[in-house]
């Protein structure tokens, strides 16, 4: 499966991909049988993919991504989307105003500061004060 490129052997981590498919499917409360039906595979084939025992075509990858609402980047590499953002969030943000997107950005920065136990800078507090009347 691996090919030589720039002195490194590239291999596909089918076990990791399968785990991400299974985890996402379960998070979305879709049975294995249902997902298999949705993408036109047998349940056994999907089970083999989820267990990392079998590869899949690009068409199957696209179908899985579509039904599980994730990017190929997430399934192949573990990144939900650009910088680990779920695809449904980025798609929904496209429907928001520029001001709302900025508000979302500021809120995420506050969450990052809280989760990294960092100090919230005055810059973010000032930007968020603009939105406090909207909440």
Distance, in Å, from the CA atom of 18 to the CA atom of 16, rounded to the nearest integer, reads 5
In the block, tokens 């943000």 appear at 93
pLDDT in tens, 27-59: 889 999 999 999 999 999 999 999 999 999 999
DSSP category for residue 31? -
The residue-averaged pLDDT of 54-70 equals: 91
Distance, in Å, from the CA atom of 116 to the CA atom of 41, rounded to the nearest integer, reads 43
pTM above 0.85, yes or no: no
Domain boundaries, the chain: 3-80, 96-129
Per CATH, the homologous superfamily of domain 3-80 is lambda repressor-like DNA-binding domains (1.10.260.40)
């Amino acid at each position: 499966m691996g090919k030589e490129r720039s002195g490194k052997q590239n291999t596909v981590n089918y076990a990791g991909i399968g785990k991400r498919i299974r985890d996402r499917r379960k998070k979305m409360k879709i049975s294995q049988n249902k997902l298999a039906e949705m993408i036109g595979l047998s349940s056994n084939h999907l089970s083999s993919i989820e267990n990392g025992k079998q590869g899949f075509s690009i068409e199957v990858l696209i179908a899985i991504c579509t039904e599980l609402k994730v990017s190929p980047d997430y399934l192949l590499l573990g990144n939900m989307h650009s910088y680990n953002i779920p695809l449904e969030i980025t798609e929904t943000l496209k429907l928001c105003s520029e001001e709302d997107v900025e508000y979302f950005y500021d809120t995420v920065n506050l969450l990052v500061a809280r989760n990294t136990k960092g100090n919230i800078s005055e810059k973010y507090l000032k930007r968020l004060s603009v939105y406090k009347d909207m909440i």
